Structure formats: C-alpha cells, structure tokens
Homo-oligomer: A and B are copies of this chain.
C-alpha cells in the first residue's frame, strides 16, 4: 500500500481519549478521521469528521464504516473480534490481526514474548481449582490471578497471598480462563513506547518510569534515569516484540526492572498507551502522530525528546483541580471531554516539562 495522500479517510474503532488524541493528530496531518463508537457522547466523536454510533455487534454497520476508510485502526485491543473482522473485510486493518492475536490473551502473549527472547515472570494457565493448585506450586505465594483476556487497569485481577485466598480469587475470575503470575519483586516499572512503520522502520521513545496505584497508572516520568545497558535492553525488547508481531503502528511494552537490573516483560499493548502521553508535549513527534503516520504508510517521525516530562493522570475527582492546574505555568493540560468524573475514570492528564 503506497503512503495515503492527505485528505484520505482514516477510521478509528473506539472513541475514547486515545481515539480522541489520535483523531486530532490525524487531522493535523491533513487526514479526515472517522470514529466508530456505540456511545453517542464518545470523546473522540467531538473532534472527528464523522461518527458512526452503532453497536459493536452490528457487523453491517462496522463494514459500512470501514468501506468509507482508506485504512482502519483501533484505539485499543479490546474491540470485539467480530467487529475487527468486519472492518478488516472492507479496509486494511493496521495494526494487523497478528498483533491482536498475540496480545489478546495473557498466556499467548507471554509465550510469544519468550519466543522473542524476552523474559517474563513465571506463569501458568489456570482453568479450575486443580490447575490453580498446580500453578501455585510453581509460583509460590504471593501470586496474581488474572483473567487471560479483557483485563485492564487492575480489573479482573486478584492477589493470592496464602492458600486461604485461592477460592475467592478463583471466584473473582467468574469462570473465565485465567493466568497465575508469580509476584515480581521489582524495583521499578518501566515502559517503552515505540512504533514500527509499514516499511519495517522502528522508532522508540526513551523508556519512562511508571507509578501505579490501585492497578491504575498515576504517573510516568520520562526519560527514566537508566544505565546504558538497561536502556539498550529495554529498547531491544520493544523492537523484538514489534518485529515479532510484524506490527504497524505504536506499541508499548510494560517492563519490571528487577533489583539486579534484569527486565521482565509484564504486558504488551499493541496500540498507543497511557505511558506514552508524555511524548505529545516533550517530543518532536508524539505517539499519536506517530501512530497515524505508521497506519497511513508514512515514514516514522523523530522520537527525540526536547524536554523531560512528568505525566500525571487525572483520575475521577482529580479533574476537579482544574482551576489550579490551568494556573500552573508549565503544566500542559489535556482534558478528554468526558461528562462525568466517575471514580477510577481517566478524565485527563497533565504533563510538566523541564529542560533536558
């Protein structure tokens, strides 16, 4: 596929904040962006040329949406498979099905990472009480039980700290296939956000350090202070994963940095990622523009940072601090246009820059 000319239509499945920031980045490059999202109040719809507000299950509507697009992408990987397939039947889907197939399921994802020469925590598939016992014998306590699919921001997860927790943890999975992961006694959580172009080119932003609380990302500090060896290894991992998926677009790898400097893969996101939001304000080409460049078949932009950044999520009522945030010089504010500040809901983020 040759590079899409300006004026082409790029479709995005999903109209949350990631779709919203992708849509604006696409418009800056001269594309028309169409959004598919069942929610009539989807944040991305308010910055898009067109909004198809139909259910994910309406494959005809998805197909018709994609038929108007030169290429279709998605804001996150949990768009229903049937919708992705319906879209792929009418337009090129980027990133492709391989990126989704390899990351949709936590067991498949970790096996794939190991195939790429990337270490992970110990893990085992769990389908029932027996396999959970066998898995715990391998990982020891504490261990983390997660659904294999559709988990994000700490949902569908339960810690098992002793044998007394096993029954409740398994019940919390609601009968869904699960994975048990050994607790990683990590020193820091890092992530690498990177992009792979349609031409196979690779560009990574420098790794950031992430602070989570309650299973939700609170803060990314980037670039993280790292030894050259750790930085090189982090970038090697991102590249190996991107190549292995034959990915087109932005991807993120979340890593545990162990006390001895080893890096273990925690999770792959085959998409723009919250831990990459800092790149919008601190880098020549941020993650949203980069993703649109990649899916349009354009050359990748430069990932170099012109500033250091601390990105802080505004979660739920955090956003009520907006009068103070708008008065703070150097606080770059991004609000997502969501109407209701429910607890745990990502309402926006603020990035504070300092000279590099």
On A, residues with C-beta under 8 Å from B are: 3, 5-7, 20, 23-24, 27-33, 45-49, 281, 284-285, 293, 298-299, 301-302, 306-307, 319, 322-323, 326-327, 329-330, 332-337, 339, 348, 353, 355
Contact = CB atoms under 8 A, between A and B. Distances in A.
In the complex this chain forms, how many copies of it are found?
2
Nearest to A44: B27
Contact of A30 (B31, B284, B329, B348): B348
A284 B333 CA distance: 11
A7 B299 CA distance: 35
SS of A interface (majority): mixed
Among A3, A299, A333, the most chain B Cβ lie within 10 Å of the Cβ of A333
7 contacts: A23-B47, A27-B47, A29-B333, A30-B337, A284-B353, A306-B306, A306-B307
B30 A326 contact: no
A285 B331 CA distance: 10
Given A284-B332, A330-B302, A335-B6, A47 B24 contact: yes
A298 B326 contact: yes
A24 B21 CA distance: 10
Contact of A6 (B7, B30, B47, B319): B319
Contacts of A30: 322, 333, 335-337, 348
A349 to B, nearest CB: 11
A192 B326 CA distance: 24
A322 B47 contact: no
A335 B26 CA distance: 10
B337 A7 contact: yes
